[in-house]
Amino acid sequence: MQGQPSEQQELLRNSAREFAAKELEPHAADVDSAEQFPRRQFDGLARLGFLGLTVPEADGGAGGGYAELSVVIEEIAAACGSTSTVFITHVSLGTATIARFGSATQRAKWLPSLCRGERIAAFALSEPGSGSDALALSTTARIEGGHYVLNGSKIFITNGDVADVFVVFVNSDRAKGHRGINAIVVERGTPGFAVNHMTGKMGMKGSATAELSFHDCRVPAANRLAEEGRGYSVALSILSSSRVSIAAQCVGLARGAYDAAVSYAKERETFGRRIAEHQAIQFMLADTATEIDAARLLTLRAASLVDAGRPHVAESAMAKLFASEVAGRAAHRAVQIHGGSGYFRPGKVERIYRDQRVTEIYEGTSEIQRLIIARSILEDERGPRARD
């Protein structure tokens, strides 16, 4: 388990930070206000090879791990929350599911173009009537000959407006419980499949959220990922590893707010001196810096466990829970330090304040993370780290 990034990871961080400073930060406010998918930024990430960062080289990727992915996500999120959400959804949800559970034929069909950014991936699990309760899926898929016939809908699907390849979770046999769920790849343009744009989000406005609907949508049976009835375990596995990505995103959001607060505190003057000289401001900055460091270390620990193929469910939940709440406190303090100017657009801390909020909701709410952690503790009275 590593405590600090390796030399290779630092090189990745420097590359991502340079890109973020030049291509993300200057346009983040426009991405937010226009509520448009950051296509140019996405294409830039593709040119850097980041879209296939965790995909094996044999499948067209870079062969990296979640530790490498985490340092890249932090830099992206510190500059533009929307772009980081788009990136995470493409890499650690949609693409990762195909890379980890697809057959050789499926990987060859979809992964190279996804790694090059020629196609965009989405992950469709949430439904109008099911969020935290993944077993409550009402989207169905009955088998007819060599096809699955899908009916139902999905909601809050990130990248939905622009994605070409959707990993869709369906209920093929409700009587079998979690063993009746499948993961099926549906391509844009399939008859019976429609995408409906969703508006009105509080934050992450450039992440192209959509509702999906399926009406007798026929998908080749060959598009099913993993064995029949394994969709539930596929979803749990991917969500657990992707929580590391969300934790890294939260570290980035927190750092973006913190950096802005430090810069402002050094410039703003009250009562004849810079506000950075006031102890109340210093304490807020000290608390934020300490919490960001702790969140980063939790994230790196979880990432190293994922990369080593070791159990990581509780550790990923801990990282996601703590980092998302750290990001909330960092954004709150940053707005407070900025005072009235932090409350207005297009200020960076106002945007981060809105963007951060969803990190305590998606990929498992904070309440769900606490349940996961508690179950791990109660399953082994020595706690989640007892297996060390």
Residue 363 annotated in active site: yes
**Which helix (H) or strand (E) element contains residue 345?**
none
Question: One of 35, 211, 363, 381 is an active-site residue; which one?
Answer: 363
> Mean pLDDT over residues 365-388, rounded?
79
> Mean pLDDT over residues 369-375, rounded?
96
List, for residues 147-202, the tens digit of each pLDDT value.
Answer: 999 999 999 999 999 999 999 999 999 889 889 999 999 999 999 999 999 999 99
* Per-domain residue ranges of the chain: 7-120, 123-229, 232-379
List, for residues 5-15, the tens digit of each pLDDT value.
Answer: 788 889 999 99
Q: What is the pLDDT of residue 159?
A: 97
Q: Quick check: helix, strand or coil at residue 322?
A: helix
Mean pLDDT of the chain: 94
For domain 232-379, the CATH architecture is Up-down Bundle (1.20)
> Mean pLDDT over residues 226-233, rounded?
96
Nearest 10 degrees: CA dihedral of 301, 306, 310, 316?
Answer: 60
**Is residue 381 pLDDT above 80, yes or no?**
no
Q: How many Cα atoms sit within 13 Å of 343 on the Cβ side?
A: 3
Helix locations, the chain, DSSP H: 7-19, 28-34, 39-47, 66-79, 81-88, 96-101, 104-116, 231-267, 279-307, 313-338, 348-357, 366-379
List, for residues 66-100, the tens digit of each pLDDT value.
Answer: 999 999 999 999 999 999 999 999 999 999 999 99
Cβ distance 144 to 173 under 8 Å?
no
**Is residue 1 pLDDT above 50, yes or no?**
no
Among 331, 326, 333, CA closest to 349:
331
For domain 7-120, the CATH architecture is Orthogonal Bundle (1.10)
Q: What is the pLDDT of residue 69?
A: 97
Q: What is the pLDDT of residue 303?
A: 97
SS3 of the chain: helix, strand, coil, percent, to 5: 60, 15, 25
Q: What is the pLDDT of residue 387?
A: 47
123-229, CATH topology level: Butyryl-CoA Dehydrogenase, subunit A; domain 2 (2.40.110)
Cβ distance 347 to 338 under 8 Å?
yes
Whole-number Å distance between alpha carbons of 161 and 159: 6
Q: What is the largest CA-CA distance in the chain?
A: 79
Around Cβ 264, how many Cβ atoms within 10 Å?
22
**Which helix (H) or strand (E) element contains residue 361?**
none
pTM over the 0.75 mark: yes
Cβ contacts of 272 within 8 Å, gap of 6 or more: none
Q: What is the pLDDT of residue 379?
A: 85
For residue 10, what are its two tokens?
């630092």
Cβ distance 146 to 220 under 8 Å?
yes
